[in-house]
C-alpha cells in the first residue's frame, strides 16, 4: 500500500486527528465514534451523502460545534484551545459576509481580527477578480462574493483550510476559476485543505486524500492513490442465482447478481479465481459503492487510523 | 476613489493613510468591527440622546427664565408646566427609549448575526466566541448606559428643583423611572432582555417582536405594580372629621382606613351606608374615632430608586450570564 500519507509519528504532522469523536443532537447521533487522521499538506476530500455528518465534522473542527464524545486535535493542539484559531480558516457553504461592508472593509475586518494577516495576498486575490474595493458586499455577484470570502480565508494565512461545499452555488466558469485559485494558493503555501463536496469529479481532480463519511461514521480514510487500487471490480458466473462461495475470502463492498452473472466490488484478500473477469474501478465507482453499502467494512490506509489509545493501528 | 487605490492600501499596517480617515483608527480589532457593524443604530441612539439632552437644557432654561420673571418661589408662578408641549414630547422620547434600545439594539444584537451567518464568520477568525459576545454586549450596554446616564442626569436637573410645579407625582412612572439611577438601570435591563430573547430565538424579526411584547408588558403592567411596593408604607392616624395636615399633601397615598380607639383598622367604605342614621350607628358599633392614611412620602424616593436600580441591575447580570452560558454551549 502506498506509504506517502504517513508522516512520522509526531502529532504536529497531522493536520487533523480525531479519536472517538462523536456529536449527538437531540434527534440522534450526527457523528459517531470517528477516529482518523489527515496528514499535513494534503488536499483532503470529505465525501458523503447529505446528512452524513460532513458539516458536523467541519463544525467541530471550527469550534462551532462542541463534541459529545472524543477529542479532535488540530496540528496536535486540542481544538478547544484558542491557540488553534489563527491556524484554521473556514469557508462555509453560504459564505456569510457582512452585506453592508464594502470589500475594503471586509478585508480590514480580516486584518483587525487576525494576528498573522497577509494583506497583500488577500488584496491580490480580490484584485485578480476585478472586484471593486468600494463596492458593498451585498451588491456583488455570487462568484465575486466567493472570491472575497476566499481572500478573507487565505489572508488569514491558515495552516488548515476547511471548506464546506465551497463551489456548490457557482456557475461552471466561476467554479473553475475558484478551483484554480484554491489549488494555486494551497500548493504555494503548503496549506492543508479539507473540503466537503458532492461533486465526485471535482474531488477526483483536486484531492489526494479522502475521508468518506456515511450515516455519521467513517467509511474510508486515506490516500486517494491507495484507496482505489485496494478495490477490484470482478465479474463472473453465478451459482444458481447466488454469489459464488469463493467471494468469502475477500471483503465484499457491494455485489449484484444479474441472471447468470454476478458483479462485485471487492477488496481482494488473496488470489482471485482465474475465470473471474477483473477491472480496476474508478474513484467514483469506489465511492458510490461505499456510499450505497453502509454496512461494508470501513477501509483505512496506513496511518489514517488511530485507535482509542492513540497508537497507530497499521 | 478608485478600486485600485483602495485595494493597494494595506488596512492592517499602521502609519499608512487609509480612506477611512484617522478618526476611526482609534478603534482596533473587535471594537472596530462591532462599531462598524452597528454604526447606524449607534448613530441613531446617540443622536436621539443628544437631541433630547439639548432640548431638556433648553426647556429648563426657559422654565428658569419664566420663574425668575414671575418671582418664584416667593410669588405664585401659575402653572407653567400645564399643557407644556416640550415636556410632553421629551417625556415621550424618554419613555420610548427602553423600547427603542431593547427592540432595535438588544434583540438584533446576536440574533442578527446568527440569522445571517456572520456569527460564524467572526468566530472563525482569530477571536473566540466569548471575546466576540463580550464586545457586542459591551457596545449595547455602553450605549444604554451613556444614553441613560445623560438623560437621567439632565431630567433630574430639570425636575428636582422645580418638582412642586410638575404635574406628575414623584411616584409616577414618568418621574420615578426617568430620574436618578432608575433610567440607566432600566435601559440596561431591557437591552439585556432583548439580547437574551434574540439569543434564544435566533431570528431577528421574531426576536424583535418578542422583545417588543416583553418590553410593553414589563413597562406597562408589571413595573407599575413593582414600583409602589419598593418602599415600606407609613401610616398616619388623625381624628375623624378633621383635615389631613398640610405636610401630607405631597405624599403618595396608597390607601385610607378608618380606625377605632384600640387601633383596629376598617376599610374606608366600611360605614358607607345609605342614610346618616345607619352610618352613625355603624360608626358607633365599631367605635370608629380616627381616619388613617397609608402613604409613601417623598423622603423615601431615593431609597426606592436605588432599590429599583438594584433589582434591575441584578436582572441584567442574571440575563447576561444566561446569554453567555447559553450561546457558548450551542452552535452559533
- For a pLDDT cut of 90, what percent of chain A falls above it? 33
Nearest alpha-carbon partner for A189 in A153, A223, A158, A226:
A158
Is A88 part of the contact surface with chain B (CB cutoff 8 Å)? Answer: yes
Q: Distance between CA atoms of B65 and A238, rounded to whole angstroms?
A: 109
CA of A132 vs chain B CAs: smallest distance (Å): 5
CA of A202 vs chain B CAs: smallest distance (Å): 25
Is A89 part of the contact surface with chain B (CB cutoff 8 Å)? Answer: yes
Is A169 part of the contact surface with chain B (CB cutoff 8 Å)? Answer: no
Q: Distance between CA atoms of A103 and B7, rounded to whole angstroms?
A: 9
Nearest CA in chain B to A89: B124
Is residue A8's pLDDT more than 70? no
Half-sphere exposure of B22 (CA within 13 A, CB side): 3
Nearest-CB residue to A112 (from B13, B28, B331)? B28
pLDDT of residue A9: 46
Q: Distance between CA atoms of A152 and A168, rounded to whole angstroms?
A: 19
Q: Distance between CA atoms of B159 and B155, rounded to whole angstroms?
A: 6
A75-96 confidence digits (pLDDT tens): 999 998 999 999 999 998 888 9
> Is residue B202 within 8 Å of B113, Cβ to Cβ?
no
Nearest CA in chain A to B132: A113
Helix count (H) and strand count (E) of chain A? 8, 15
Is A126 part of the contact surface with chain B (CB cutoff 8 Å)? Answer: yes
> Is residue B17 within 8 Å of B114, Cβ to Cβ?
no
Which ipTM value was assigned to this complex?
0.83
Element (H, E) at A300: strand A299-300
Q: Which residues on B lie below 8 Å from A121 (Cβ)? A: none
Q: Distance between CA atoms of A302 and A221, rounded to whole angstroms?
A: 9
Element (H, E) at A256: strand A251-258
pLDDT of residue A288: 86
Residue boundaries of the structural domains of chain A: 11-226, 232-300
Those residues of chain B whose CB sits closer than 8 Å to some CB in chain A are 1, 3-4, 6-13, 19-20, 28-30, 32-33, 36-37, 116-118, 120-129, 329, 331-332
pLDDT of residue B62: 92
pLDDT of residue B279: 85
Q: Distance between CA atoms of B141 and B162, rounded to whole angstroms?
A: 31
Q: Which residues on B lie below 8 Å from A63 (Cβ)? A: 123-124, 129
CA of A51 vs chain B CAs: smallest distance (Å): 17
Q: Do A97 and B118 touch (CB under 8 A)?
A: yes
pLDDT of residue B89: 94
List of long-range contacts for A136-139, beta carbons under 8 Å, 24+ apart: A136/A99, A136/A100, A136/A101, A136/A102, A137/A97, A137/A98, A137/A99, A137/A100, A137/A101, A137/A102, A137/A103, A137/A106, A138/A99, A138/A100
Backbone angles phi, psi at B66, to 5 degrees: -60, -45
Is A78 part of the contact surface with chain B (CB cutoff 8 Å)? Answer: no
Q: Do A123 and B8 touch (CB under 8 A)?
A: yes
Across the A/B interface, how many CB contacts are shorter than 8 Å?
A: 103
Helix (H, G, I), strand (E, B) or coil at A79: coil
B87-144 confidence digits (pLDDT tens): 999 999 999 999 999 999 999 999 999 999 999 999 999 999 999 999 999 999 999 9
A14-43 confidence digits (pLDDT tens): 999 999 999 998 888 999 888 999 999 999
A113-128 confidence digits (pLDDT tens): 999 999 999 999 899 8
pLDDT tens sequence for chain B (332 residues): 343 444 444 444 444 444 444 445 788 899 999 999 999 999 999 999 999 999 999 999 999 999 999 888 888 888 888 888 999 999 999 999 999 999 999 999 999 999 999 999 999 999 999 999 999 999 999 999 999 999 999 999 999 999 888 888 898 999 999 999 999 999 999 999 999 999 999 999 999 999 999 999 998 889 989 998 998 999 898 888 888 888 887 788 888 888 888 888 888 888 888 888 888 888 888 888 888 889 998 889 999 999 999 999 999 999 999 999 999 887 77
pLDDT of residue B59: 93
A136-161 confidence digits (pLDDT tens): 999 998 888 988 999 999 999 999 99
Q: Distance between CA atoms of A150 and A89, rounded to whole angstroms?
A: 10
Backbone angles phi, psi at A164, to 5 degrees: -105, 105
Element (H, E) at A78: strand A77-78
pLDDT of residue A228: 85
The residues in A 243-302 lying below 8 A from B, measured between CB atoms, are: none
Backbone angles phi, psi at A34, to 5 degrees: -95, 125
Nearest CA in chain B to A112: B29
CA of B159 vs chain A CAs: smallest distance (Å): 42
Q: Do B11 and A104 touch (CB under 8 A)?
A: yes
Which of the listed CATH numbers 3.90.180.10, 3.40.47.10, 3.40.50.1000, 3.40.50.300 matches domain A11-226? 3.40.50.300
- Enumerate the H helices of chain A as residue ranges: 54-61, 103-113, 119-128, 142-155, 172-189, 200-206, 224-227, 283-292
pLDDT of residue B308: 95
Nearest-CB residue to B3 (from A82, A120, A133)? A133
Amino acid at each position: 500500500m502506498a506509504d506517502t500519507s504517513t508522516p512520522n509519528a509526531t502529532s504536529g504532522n497531522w493536520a487533523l486527528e480525531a479519536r472517538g469523536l462523536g456529536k449527538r443532537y437531540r434527534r440522534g447521533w450526527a457523528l459517531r465514534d470517528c477516529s482518523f487522521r489527515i496528514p499535513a499538506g494534503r488536499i483532503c476530500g470529505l465525501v458523503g451523502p447529505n446528512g452524513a455528518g460532513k458539516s458536523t465534522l467541519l463544525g467541530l473542527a471550527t469550534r462551532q460545534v462542541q463534541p459529545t464524545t472524543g477529542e479532535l486535535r488540530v496540528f496536535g493542539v486540542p481544538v478547544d484551545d484558542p491557540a488553534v484559531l489563527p491556524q484554521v480558516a473556514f469557508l462555509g457553504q453560504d459564505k456569510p459576509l457582512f452585506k453592508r461592508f464594502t470589500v475594503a472593509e471586509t478585508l480590514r475586518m480580516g486584518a483587525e481580527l487576525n494576528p498573522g494577516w497577509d494583506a497583500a495576498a488577500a488584496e491580490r486575490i480580490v484584485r485578480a477578480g476585478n472586484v471593486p474595493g468600494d463596492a458593498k458586499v451585498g451588491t456583488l455577484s455570487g462568484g465575486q462574493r466567493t472570491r472575497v470570502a476566499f481572500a478573507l480565508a487565505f489572508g488569514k494565512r491558515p495552516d488548515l483550510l476547511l471548506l464546506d461545499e465551497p463551489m456548490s452555488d457557482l456557475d461552471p466558469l466561476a467554479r473553475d476559476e475558484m478551483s484554480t485559485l484554491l489549488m494555486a494558493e494551497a500548493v504555494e503555501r503548503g496549506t492543508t485543505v479539507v473540503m466537503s463536496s458532492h461533486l465526485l469529479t471535482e474531488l477526483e481532480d483536486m484531492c489526494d486524500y479522502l475521508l468518506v463519511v456515511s450515516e455519521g461514521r467513517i467509511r474510508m480514510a486515506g490516500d486517494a492513490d491507495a484507496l482505489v487500487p485496494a478495490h477490484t471490480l470482478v465479474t463472473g458466473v453465478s451459482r444458481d442465482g447466488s454469489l459464488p462461495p469463493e467471494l468469502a475470502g475477500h471483503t465484499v463492498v457491494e455485489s449484484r447478481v444479474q441472471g447468470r452473472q454476478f458483479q462485485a466490488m471487492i477488496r481482494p484478500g488473496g488470489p482471485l479465481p482465474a475465470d473471474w473477469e477483473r477491472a480496476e474501478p474508478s474513484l467514483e465507482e469506489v465511492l458510490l459503492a461505499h456510499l450505497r453499502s453502509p454496512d461494508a467494512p470501513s477501509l483505512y490506509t496506513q496511518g489514517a487510523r488511530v485507535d482509542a489509545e492513540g497508537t497507530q493501528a497499521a | 476613489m478608485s478600486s485600485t487605490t483602495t485595494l493597494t492600501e494595506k488596512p492592517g499596517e499602521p502609519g499608512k493613510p487609509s480612506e477611512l480617515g484617522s478618526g476611526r483608527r482609534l478603534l482596533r480589532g473587535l471594537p472596530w468591527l462591532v462599531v462598524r457593524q452597528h454604526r447606524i443604530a449607534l448613530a441613531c441612539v446617540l443622536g436621539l440622546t443628544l437631541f433630547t439632552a439639548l432640548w431638556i437644557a433648553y426647556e429648563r432654561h426657559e422654565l428658569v427664565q419664566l420663574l425668575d420673571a414671575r418671582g418664584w418661589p416667593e410669588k405664585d408662578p401659575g402653572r407653567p408646566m400645564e399643557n407644556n408641549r416640550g415636556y410632553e414630547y421629551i417625556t415621550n422620547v424618554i419613555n420610548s427609549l427602553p423600547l427603542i434600545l431593547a427592540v432595535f439594539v438588544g434583540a438584533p444584537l446576536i440574533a442578527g448575526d446568527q440569522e445571517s451567518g456572520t456569527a460564524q464568520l467572526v468566530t472563525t477568525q482569530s477571536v473566540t466566541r466569548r471575546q466576540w459576545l463580550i464586545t457586542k454586549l459591551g457596545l449595547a450596554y455602553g450605549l444604554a448606559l451613556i444614553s441613560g446616564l445623560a438623560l437621567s442626569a439632565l431630567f433630574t436637573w430639570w425636575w428636582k428643583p422645580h418638582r412642586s410645579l410638575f404635574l406628575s407625582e414623584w411616584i409616577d412612572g414618568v418621574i420615578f423611572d426617568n430620574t436618578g439611577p432608575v433610567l440607566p438601570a432600566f435601559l440596561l435591563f431591557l437591552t439585556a432582555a432583548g439580547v437574551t430573547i434574540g439569543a434564544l430565538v435566533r431570528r431577528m424579526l421574531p426576536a424583535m417582536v418578542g422583545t417588543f411584547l416583553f418590553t410593553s408588558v414589563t413597562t406597562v403592567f408589571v413595573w407599575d405594580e413593582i414600583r409602589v411596593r419598593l418602599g415600606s408604607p407609613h401610616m398616619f392616624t388623625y381624628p375623624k372629621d378633621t383635615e389631613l395636615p398640610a405636610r401630607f399633601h405631597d405624599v403618595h397615598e396608597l390607601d385610607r382606613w378608618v380606625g377605632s380607639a384600640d387601633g383596629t383598622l376598617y376599610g374606608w367604605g366600611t360605614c358607607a351606608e345609605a342614610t346618616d342614621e345607619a352610618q352613625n350607628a355603624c360608626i358607633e358599633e365599631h367605635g370608629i374615632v380616627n381616619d388613617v392614611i397609608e402613604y409613601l412620602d417623598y423622603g423615601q424616593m431615593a431609597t426606592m430608586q436605588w432599590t429599583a436600580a438594584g433589582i434591575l441591575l441584578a436582572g441584567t447580570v442574571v440575563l447576561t450570564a444566561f446569554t453567555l452560558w447559553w450561546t457558548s454551549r450551542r452552535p452559533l
